[in-house]
Structure 1
Amino acid sequence: MRSCLLVSSALAAFVLGIGVSEGASAQTASAAAPATASPPRVVRYDTEVFAELPAVEAPVLSPKGDKVAARIAVNGVQYFGVFSVEGGKPAIIALGDTDLNWWKWVNDEWLVVGIGQTVPVEDEEWYLTRAYGVRADGTKLVKLNKETAGQNASDLIWVARDGTPRILLGSQNSIYGSQPDFWPRVDEIDVTNGRARRVQPGMAGVWDWYADGNGVVRMGYGLSDDGRKRRLYYRQQRGENFKVIDKATSIHDSIEMPTLFLSDPTKALIIGDDADGFSSLYEYDLTKLERGKQLFASKGYDIDGIRIDGTGFGYLGIDVTRDKPGMVWTDPSMVALQAKLDGMIKGGSPEIVSMNRDRSVVVVRAGSASAPGGYFLYRAADGSMTSIGSVNNTIGMRLLHRVKTIRYKARDGLEIPAVLTLPVGDPHNAPLIVMPHGGPYARDTEEWDWWAQFMADRGYVVIQPNYRGSSGYGTKFTRKGQGQWGLAMQDDLDDAVTALAAQGIADPKRVCMVGASYGGYAAMRAAQRDGSRYRCAVSYAGVSDLNRMLRFNGNFLGSGARQDWLRQQVGDLKGVSPLNFPEQFSTPILIVHGKEDKRVPVSQSRLMAKRLKEAGKNVTYIEQPEGDHHFTREADRLQFLKALEAFLAKYNPI
């Protein structure tokens, strides 16, 4: 992690000019990002540059604002750590060989973290979660679960706001459905010593619990044993019995769940579909069990959520992702703060990512889809900006390759949004990379993407289609992906090639598909189904056998519903699983997978590579011994990029 520097020093090293507000002070002036694009570059960056880990990722301020908890890069490996905003050596928190899923400050000296790990259980692999209290200086780690805790054992429901180290934690205390502790209960826990007091016993069928801003458990979400039936339990205040206020008897039915309980115990906020099928924010009457006034909607897009205020009963703004992520502030003081930051940082799209309790200290990310940028600390008291870490230390705030959102028509007329990254110059009949996102119920937006920028730096046009079924574009668009894995969803990827070729941007005879996770599945499927369209394919952590993946996920509660859901999405599991058709692969494929991947088992790639080799197909397989699903090691990033670069140069050259 880079030491803290005044932005005037941090940005002085950047090559580009800086847009500066008139009259800005010496401390604030150089917080501004580049206002104009750099001239076209001739010299490309070394591969090692794109493999750099972010110095800091996902920073969260302590309540006082004097410390930051974040993922931190140390000697090429990403760790969880805490550092002072005044600089100095960070405290690295040793969490072992686990996934760090989330973290939150409890008070100024303690945090709570949620971790997960795949472990052997009765000859199978299960993903178990746990919660720990962490002293901010890294000297103490407190286990907050029983030894017998199960898969759902890190559900943080509430954090005290009075400075005491108390939380409410929902935890399943057995993995066996026949035991009484199987259904999660809620405990109030002191994170400094793990002492717990039960505040809500487990209730048969209830899997998730929810509390209001005062720490009163108000709602439970219930599932039948197979997960196909759901119920919503509610009470207005502590001491009352829970009653069922909504239920669904099939996966096709929906339940309206409050997003936030308001200070009036009869009122709440919910996020639900409007008349056009886009998620919007509404008032909700808990006595009448009906919606009230619509508070916010974003035409043509779903809203992502709300930013809850310090009381736990109100909100500051709405998260909205259109072509790029954004926040619509509704609190007047936040509107003013955002305007001030916009004035200080020219062209850098300043994003408020974390604030302390009184909002006097703020972490801001400045950057764009073309510039990785970095994180800065803004202090309202003196208007200063301090660098706390870059996303890519070498590139910094330099502008690389142009990124824009386009829309094209699929063969059935459906409009498909896509993110397009262009190499230097005005590309004409350029080689193309089709790069589908993972999920698949996610989306790509105009954000810094080190894969896309790397390939554009090598001269490729990169298109990232948000194929049907992607999230964020309303329920109708998402549902168009049902039953279409490897079918119409795959057609949407092929149709991106047709669209760019028609515009003269891409050469339809020089195309490769590159993807990770579901995107890796799509790359395998392209090599198997549409080999004549693609010169090559690259899969990172891809799924090759949907039935096998279903069995892996089937260990979890609600597997019946998940199986119903997955079958609804993909229809014929066997028929769209590339593993079953190695003889149909007709284009070279590179397959890379991390042995330590806890999201997609490495066996998905091992088996695919084995069958392709047995079938005499052109396959290159790389297994990264310490690699995971999220590239938390710089060495794994670099190995992948070098393999990708060599593979593309051989089979889809510039």
Structure 2
Amino acid sequence: MTYQGFKGLFGGFVLFAAVPLGATESAPAGLPHAPASTISAESFGQLPFMEAPKLSPDGTRIATKLAIKGQQRLAIIPLDKTQHIAMIDPGASDINGWSWVNNDWLIAKIGSTSLVEGDSWYLRRTLSISADGKTMHMLGKDDAAQSADDVLWIAQDGSPHVRIALQTSIYSSQPGFWPEVRDYDVTTGRSTLVQRPVETVMDWYADPAGTVRLGMGYEDASRSYRLLYRDSATQSFRTVSRARGRDADLGNTPAVFLPEPGKALGFDDADGFNALYPLDLATLKTGPKLFGVPGYDIGNVITGDGGSRLVGVRYTDTHARTHWFDPKLADVQAKIDAAVGTRTAEIVSWSRDFSVLMVWVGGADRPGAYYEYRPEEGVMHLFATLNDALGTAAYGPVSTIHYKARDGLDIAAVLTVPRGKPAKNLPLILMPHGGPFARDDESWDWWAQFLASRGYAVLQPNYRGSSGYGGDFTKKGRGQWGLAMQDDLTDAVKWAADSGLADAKRVCIVGGSYGGYAAFRAAGRDAAVYRCAVSYAGVADMPAMLRYDGAFLNGGRAKDYFRDQAPDLKAVSPVYDAAHFAMPILILHGKKDTVVPVAQSRSMVARLKAAGKPYRYVEQPLGDHHFSREADRVQFLTELEAFLKENNPA
């Protein structure tokens, strides 16, 4: 039985047609640097005007997310008539991704939090939209349960077909709880069944022809995994790999199905770092390494021809880069790199014949702009700046430094300093990233640049447990929340003081999510290091987070994760250490945060109040975990500036 309560949800989409495209002019690249202290919090807090523009296959339109008056919209823009935009207002829903199906249709992934049988659920859907913006269909609107946005395949022959895996029931006792795969005609919303559900299989994968070839099953009670595979649609699935336990590993799995029978490409970290290898599907064994980066994990692959051809590989060393296997794109990249000098250029989208490209040009010291580029013409045409208030000028210089932790571990950190000011004896903001399985790199960071504009040096350590530096580095963070991971942060402050960069008496810690946790932890543990702390959406009570995440699907796996983060979760939970907080703290949290619930900060505030400790708490009624609203970004920067001016003035 399908849960009928989902009907009527996601009904708030509104179309705005023929809206003029603003914010496409920027200051000339040679504009003198504006005095940083005169730039407002509102300027730094602007949402990026344009996000992830994607060209239609014929290169005549782009689909992108635009920020209009502080709110995000999905926009379809004809390149020859940019004044005629079709804009879709998602209402209360999130826009989570979009892709072209053919020249006339695209799909968008959307999501929204709704009450389902008394509980708050995040529901995911796929919307098909005509290129003129006049027609929309909610795919699976009468059948979908919680998740219906797993797009496995998009036809490459111009036909209006996609294949999507979706749940049709919210009840785990029913077959529809496990996703089926359906082929949708995006012009009508009608579908046909391609793959029936298989118990425990939540993830399906299709090859470039649309054949469902791979399924991954997981059973939470026993922490058991299995990998199902078949060579063709005429065969039955067979189990090719099994694994069990917290550290279960199914072995090598395909990232790209190649046209040759039985051949694929896959990731492996056999030499300690994630790299790309050819993969034999009969044996799941890899051949000689195809591409890797010494000292770093590679990221995602870029494919063409519907996913059957390797075009490039994204990776990050000190900043994001692309290694192009396609010779045309490699040649274009080389020419653009030579033209932009010290700035960074990234080819973000292209037409099917590579005759039209969208290129982002910017850097860690500037938000940058998108350009339309036609290789035959050889001229970059400005399409849109990301921040009209900041333009394309350069702001705080950014570099990567290395320091040694107390146990000798080498740690990389991103350093941003005020422009035009000697990097000596500066007030310091230590800013750990969230995750913690994530990393910072030399890319535009609106928090760091705002702080640098106010006179602070900002240091962002990629502490042990961060991603991107190989499996061993990540594993060193296991069991070290609030312990060695926290020591890595204080060791970063020591490096900054010993090097002469920072005044050791003027240091504050600022962070969000896990970084907010680190700020909480520092407030109770490291009074000799920091003058003040700022936590945005921080974790305060790890046992409570274990219960929260453990209540979701496959919660046993989530509970295992939290149990692995420290020998004693309560001992490293700041909420139980409020009596030892020895510095002023600013706490901010969005009420609509579904990643770290607002109850985490509320409980921390209650304990601080009971202990008589100084704090300021700001709760953002419409705020989420990701600063999706411009008003919340600006409020955060305004509160941060006022707090630092009082407790650690620059």
TM category (shorter chain) comes to: over 0.9
Where 1:344 maps in the other structure, the secondary structure is helix
The alpha carbon displacement at 1:42 in A equals: 6.8
The alpha carbon displacement at 1:39 in A equals: 6.9
Cα contact 1:226–1:557 (8 A) shared by 2: no
Match of residue 65 from structure 1:
59
Match of residue 346 from structure 1:
341
Among 330, 335, 338, the residue aligned to 1:335: 330
Alignment-mate amino acid for residue 340 of structure 1: K
Cα contact 1:149–1:175 (8 A) shared by 2: no
Cα contact 1:280–1:303 (8 A) shared by 2: yes
Q: Distance in 2 between matches of 1:42 and 1:284?
A: 52
Residue by residue over 1:399-430, the C-alpha shift from the partner in whole angstroms, topping out at 9 and shown as x without a partner, is 11110001111111111110000113212221
Q: Does 1:315 align with 2:329?
A: no
The alpha carbon displacement at 1:570 in A equals: 3.2
Q: Does 1:282 align with 2:277?
A: yes
Match of residue 606 from structure 1:
602
Where 2:296 maps in the other structure, the secondary structure is coil
Among 268, 271, 280, the residue aligned to 1:272: 268
The alpha carbon displacement at 1:240 in A equals: 0.2
5 Å-filtered alignment, 1:87-166, equals 87-147=82-142, 149-166=144-161
Among 70, 73, 77, the residue aligned to 1:79: 73
Alignment-mate amino acid for residue 599 of structure 2: S
Match of residue 200 from structure 1:
195
Q: Distance in 1 between matches of 2:20 and 2:367?
A: 15
5 Å-filtered alignment, 1:243-282, equals 243-255=238-250, 256-275=252-271, 277-282=272-277
The alpha carbon displacement at 1:538 in A equals: 0.8
Shift in CA distance, 226/111, structure 1 to aligned 2, threshold 3 Å: farther
Alignment-mate amino acid for residue 16 of structure 1: G
Alignment-mate amino acid for residue 284 of structure 2: L
Q: Distance in 1 between matches of 2:599 and 2:382?
A: 42
Match of residue 625 from structure 1:
621
Alignment-mate amino acid for residue 470 of structure 1: S
Q: Distance in 1 between matches of 2:274 and 2:335?
A: 30
Cα contact 2:437–2:465 (8 A) shared by 1: yes
The alpha carbon displacement at 1:585 in A equals: 1.5
Residue by residue over 1:118-155, the C-alpha shift from the partner in whole angstroms, topping out at 9 and shown as x without a partner, is 33334433322222212233333311135563443211
Q: Distance in 1 between matches of 2:142 and 2:591?
A: 27
Alignment-mate amino acid for residue 325 of structure 2: T
Where 1:525 maps in the other structure, the secondary structure is helix
Which shifted more, 334-343 or 236-245? Answer: 334-343
Structure 2 alignment gaps of length 5 or more: 1-18
Q: Does 1:639 align with 2:635?
A: yes
The alpha carbon displacement at 1:227 in A equals: 6.8
Cα contact 1:54–1:393 (8 A) shared by 2: no
Alignment-mate amino acid for residue 594 of structure 2: K
Shift in CA distance, 345/455, structure 1 to aligned 2, threshold 3 Å: same
Residue by residue over 1:265-300, the C-alpha shift from the partner in whole angstroms, topping out at 9 and shown as x without a partner, is 21111011032x100111111122211121011100
The alpha carbon displacement at 1:190 in A equals: 1.3
> More relative contact order in 1 or in 2 (CA 8 Å, sep 6+)?
1
Q: Distance in 1 between matches of 2:96 and 2:551?
A: 20
Alignment-mate amino acid for residue 71 of structure 1: K
Where 1:295 maps in the other structure, the secondary structure is coil
Among 512, 515, 519, the residue aligned to 2:511: 515
Q: Does 1:436 align with 2:436?
A: no
Among 450, 459, 465, the residue aligned to 2:461: 465
Where 2:148 maps in the other structure, the secondary structure is coil
Shift in CA distance, 394/550, structure 1 to aligned 2, threshold 3 Å: same
The alpha carbon displacement at 1:367 in A equals: 0.6
Cα contact 2:403–2:410 (8 A) shared by 1: yes
Match of residue 30 from structure 2:
16
Q: Distance in 2 between matches of 1:129 and 1:529?
A: 41
Q: Distance in 1 between matches of 2:23 and 2:505?
A: 49
Q: Does 1:51 align with 2:45?
A: yes
The alpha carbon displacement at 1:633 in A equals: 2.3
Shift in CA distance, 188/292, structure 1 to aligned 2, threshold 3 Å: same
Alignment-mate amino acid for residue 530 of structure 2: Y
Cα contact 2:95–2:109 (8 A) shared by 1: yes
Cα contact 2:510–2:535 (8 A) shared by 1: yes
The alpha carbon displacement at 1:336 in A equals: 0.9
Where 1:581 maps in the other structure, the secondary structure is helix
Match of residue 477 from structure 1:
473
Q: Does 1:555 align with 2:569?
A: no
Cα contact 2:33–2:393 (8 A) shared by 1: no
Which shifted more, 440-449 or 79-88? Answer: 79-88
Residue by residue over 1:468-520, the C-alpha shift from the partner in whole angstroms, topping out at 9 and shown as x without a partner, is 01000000000111111111111111110001111011112211111111111
The alpha carbon displacement at 1:156 in A equals: 0.8
Among 585, 589, 596, the residue aligned to 1:593: 589
The alpha carbon displacement at 1:577 in A equals: 1.8
Q: Distance in 2 between matches of 1:5 and 1:386?
A: 14
Alignment-mate amino acid for residue 81 of structure 1: A
Which shifted more, 612-621 or 397-406? Answer: 612-621
Q: Distance in 1 between matches of 2:330 and 2:482?
A: 44
Q: Does 1:540 align with 2:536?
A: yes
Shift in CA distance, 526/247, structure 1 to aligned 2, threshold 3 Å: same
Shift in CA distance, 39/140, structure 1 to aligned 2, threshold 3 Å: closer
The alpha carbon displacement at 1:537 in A equals: 0.8
Which shifted more, 482-491 or 470-479? Answer: 482-491
Where 1:477 maps in the other structure, the secondary structure is helix
Where 1:552 maps in the other structure, the secondary structure is helix
Match of residue 26 from structure 1:
none
Q: Does 1:577 align with 2:573?
A: yes
Alignment-mate amino acid for residue 652 of structure 1: N
Q: Distance in 2 between matches of 1:285 and 1:75?
A: 51
Q: Distance in 2 between matches of 1:434 and 1:517?
A: 15
